[in-house]
Chains A and B, each alone.
Chain A
Amino acid sequence: MDQSAIYIAAGILMGLGAIGSSIGIGILGGKYLEGVARQPELQPLLMTQLFISLALVDAVPIIAVGISLYMLFAL
């Protein structure tokens, strides 16, 4: 019982985190492409900004994945 609850919790943790961040990253990438299409000369600058915001969005699910793997294997 205990172990199966951990499995379910880890699955929910990874899945829900992934949903939110994938929508966010999709919007982010789309806007980046739009911006580059409008002003190609700004591409290096936008790329840096893209990576920064990508990392900010990425942090939440990746922390969730880390914690859920920790729950699965280390607890």
Chain B
Amino acid sequence: MAGDTKTSSEIIQHHITNLTYGQLPDGSWGYGRTVEEVQSMGFWAIHVDTMFWSLTLGCVFLGIFILAARSATSGVPGHLQNLCEIAVEFVEENVRQVFGTRPNPVIGPLSLTILIWVFLMNFMDLIPVDFIPFIAHLAGVEFFKVVPTTDPNATLGMSIGVFFLTLYYNFKIKGPIKFGAGLFTHPIPHWSMYWFNIILEMVDMVAKPLSHGLRLFGNMYAGEMIFILITLLPWYYQFVLALPWAIFHILVISLQAFVFMIMTIVYLTQAHQTGEH
């Protein structure tokens, strides 16, 4: 850690503060240097570290898969091709099971992207907590949060993107009239209950992207927080606690990436269902 005189809550505060670019209290624009400065920035601020890591990992994902696709062979496949084929087949299997065989050019690539991208972003959680922030500190960057999915902006950004996609497909497949009518008639198809149905559907619409994004955020944030709490212990305890938690966390990060993908498929499937209820 930078500076040995900090209290534990200051260390935690330091770890969960993003490298934020925004308007400083004196009116100029720049990176926040202290926690108070970051908190006073308000709405027009951007988390540079989240953007950097998510875009970098997106490029890593694309690079790996493009490399594998370029060198793909129908003969004996290499390790990289095997790995990518496992991922693609896994996604294909899940899409076919949940979504069926409706013609849709988006859902397959979208699910693959979400699965691998979220997995890579979650994977940054397994890198020791102080490793990259310490290097960043040596390079003169005060705050550096490595795991993009511990930032609600990233997870809610993804889930709201999926939400807009479901709205688009609702309009495209059902048509605006049927979609609008479905909002009023869905759970209880009786005219006296239309007011109740619309309230229920509105709550549902808000809750879907919110729980979708917050689920990933909550899991990753809690996991990251436990890693940070472990680093506060004396050094001879840390290995005993951090190792089992890290091993357990391998399961959590893959499960959360899988769940994020499955929920995306489920929401898109719901947008495609035109059956009467």
Contact = CB atoms under 8 A, between A and B. Distances in A.
Interface of A: 45, 48, 51-52, 55, 58-59, 62-67, 69-70, 73-74
A48 B97 contact: yes
Contacts, number: 51
Interface in B1-60: 9, 12-13, 16
A65 B225 CA distance: 11
Interface in B190-223: 211, 214-215, 217-219, 221-222
B94 interface: yes
A73 B12 contact: yes
Given A51-B258, A73-B225, A59 B13 contact: no
Contacts of B222: 62, 65-66, 69
B259 interface: yes
A48 B94 contact: yes
B262 A52 contact: yes
A73 B259 CA distance: 27
Contacts of A67: 218
B263 interface: yes
Contact of A52 (B12, B211, B215, B259): B259
Nearest to A58: B215
Contacts of A64: 218
Looking at chain B's contact residues, is the secondary structure mostly helix, strand, loop, or mixed? helix
A45 B9 CA distance: 45
Contacts of B64: none
A73 B16 contact: yes
Looking at chain A's contact residues, is the secondary structure mostly helix, strand, loop, or mixed? helix
B83 interface: no
B215 A55 contact: yes
Contacts of A52: 259, 262-263, 266
A63 B255 contact: no
B102 to A, nearest CB: 19
Given A48-B94, A69-B225, A55 B218 contact: no
Contact of A62 (B9, B219, B266): B219
Contact of B218 (A45, A63, A73): A63
A47 B219 CA distance: 21
Contacts of A45: 97
Contacts of B263: 52, 55
Contacts of A62: 215, 218-219, 222
Contacts of A48: 94, 97, 262
Contacts of A51: 255, 258-259, 262
Among A58, A59, A70, residue most surrounded by chain B Cβ atoms (within 10 Å):
A59
Given A55-B262, A59-B211, A66-B222, 17 more contacts: A48-B97, A51-B259, A52-B262, A52-B263, A55-B263, A63-B214, A65-B222, A66-B214, A66-B217, A66-B218, A66-B219, A66-B221, A69-B221, A69-B222, A73-B9, A73-B13, A74-B16
